[in-house]
Structure 1
Amino acid sequence: MGKNELRKGMLISLDKIGRVERKKTEKMMQANLFTSTLWGKAEMVGITLSINKEWDTRAIIKQAWMEGKKVCIPKSIHKSRALHFYEIISFQQVEKGYFDLLEPVVSETRRVDNSEIDLMIVPGLAFTRQGYRIGFGGGYYDRFLKDFKHTTVSLLHSNQLVKSFPIETFDMPVQYLVTEKGLMQAEGE
């Protein structure tokens, strides 16, 4: 099965998860993240602001702020398909951007150098146990992760783990996967 078919199928599958099940799953994922040493050691967390049927990231951002961690969110640079991260200290510093994604208000935030980000929470739709992921399309995170030197993790329902899909040379795996069942280190190749 190709990436586009898998992406479409996973979107349909995720859409079928009921509200109660979704909240329960998110709470378990978040608990597994918050009790991990990855989270404990991180001072600056990079994360997207979830929209629609994505796993909720607002609770993660609020927890980070409550613990005194810094949070940065991406601004998409469409010409180069790059991501620039900006520190936010309030949800008031966010606006709708490209494809209705929630992005930082650049004039009200500080751009963060990639080396400042200790923990990058990477979104995705389907994942292998090796940490490879199918995102929402565009390759923005693969470009970003190519030169990112710190810890990477993705949040997913265990049903989003698939045996395999075509891996391309530009695909960049994450190091850890957090599901409702626990935290696992990606198996590598």
Structure 2
Amino acid sequence: MTALQAQKKALRKTMATRLRSLSVSDVQQQSGMITDRVLASPYFARSQCVSCYLSMPSGEVDTSSLISAILRSGKTLFVPKIDTTCDGTMDFLQVYGEDDLRAFPPGTWGIKEPAYEWKGARRRSATDDGTDLDLIFLPGVAFDRSMSRLGHGKGYYDRFISSYAASKSAKGQRKPLLVALSLREQILEAGQVPVAPHDWKMDVIAGPDGLLGEAAADSSQ
């Protein structure tokens, strides 16, 4: 294990202890505040194709209200799908409505995931030609004020974003805006999250007390 890997492992352990101490009501209250801030943001209003994770039962921002709001807004929603046949690979597949969402079976780590087919046809992927993600909402273990993110260590998001951004850049297109959803206890001071060169920085960190990086996000779109 490298020194960087050891630092990340230690921080994950520290954060796990911190997050376990939060009550369900506290997480729900913060999640509601974060959802309100995101829905009121100009970059959300401008977006058409959005990806958002389906949250775990504990330890991260609950996205259920945000997911419902995205579907009601008429935007196109994509959610993560782990490829169990190819280690470390993740795609984003389209959700076709609330009924579709409710029918998802549990996937990796018990998180609901869409099947590759919907009503007998192949489900649309964010990587399909003609599909341009404007916005990706990301989970994480910890974030800091220099916009760094500590994930769970599998590298799914960093790999997907690197591949997706490269394909868009080759066509002269911008990468999606990267918006982290973070509980108050997950936001650390600048420089406290150890990062490697391949770790993507966030454009915005949405917490219950405000949006970090909001000005930069507004000027980039």
- What is the TM-score with the length of structure 1 in the denominator? 0.90
Check whether the contact 1:131–1:187 (CA below 8 A) recurs between aligned residues: no
CA distance in 2, matches of 1:8, 1:177: 22
Partner of residue 159, structure 1: 185
Q: Whole-Å Cα distance in 2 between the matches of residues 121 and 186 of structure 1?
A: 14
Is residue 86–residue 111 contact of structure 1 (8 Å, CA) maintained in 2? yes
Corresponding position of 1:27: 32
Partner of 1:179 in structure 2? Answer: 207
More strand by share: 1
The question of 1:139 aligning with 2:172 is answered no
Aligned to 1:110: 124
Displacement of 1:101 after TM fit? 2.8
Does residue 55 of structure 1 match 2:61? Answer: yes
Q: Secondary structure at the match of 1:61?
A: helix
- The offset of 1:112, in angstroms, is 2.3
Q: Distance in 2 between matches of 1:17 and 1:117?
A: 33
SS in 2 for 1:75: strand
Kindly tell me the number of residue pairs found equivalent between the two proteins.
Answer: 188
Matched-pair contact (CA < 8 Å) for 1:26–1:180: yes
2:196 pairs, out of 159, 164, 168, with 168
- Following superposition, the deviation at residue 165 of structure 1 comes to 2.8
Whole-Å separation in 2 of the counterparts to 1:2 and 1:187 = 31
* Counterpart position of 2:47: 42
Report the RMSD for the aligned CA atoms in angstroms.
2.0
1:92-131 equivalences under 5 Å are: 92-108=102-118, 109-113=123-127, 115-131=131-147
Larger Rg: 2
How high is the TM-score relative to the length of structure 2? Answer: 0.78
1:19 deviates by: 2.1
CA contact (8 A) 2:135 2:178 kept: yes
Distance 1:52-1:102 versus aligned 2 partners, 3 A rule:
same
Unmatched segments (≥5 aa) in structure 1: none
1:69 aligns with 2:75: yes
Which residue of the partner structure matches residue 94 of structure 2?
Answer: 87
Q: Partners of 1:187 and 1:35 in 2: how far apart? A: 14
- Shift, 1:186, TM fit: 7.6
Maintained 8 Å contact 1:130/1:186? no
Identity among equivalent positions (%) equals: 26
Q: Which amino acid aligns with 2:204?
A: Y
Deviation of 1:93 (Å): 4.6
1:40 to 1:162, Cα distance in 2 relative to 1, 3 A: same
Residues 73 and 85, structure 1, Cα contact 8 Å, conserved in 2: yes
- Are the aligned partners of 2:47 and 2:135 in contact in 1 as well (CA < 8 Å)? yes
Larger mean CA deviation between 87-96 and 22-31 belongs to: 87-96
Report the AA paired with residue 141 of structure 1: Y
SS at match of 1:60: helix
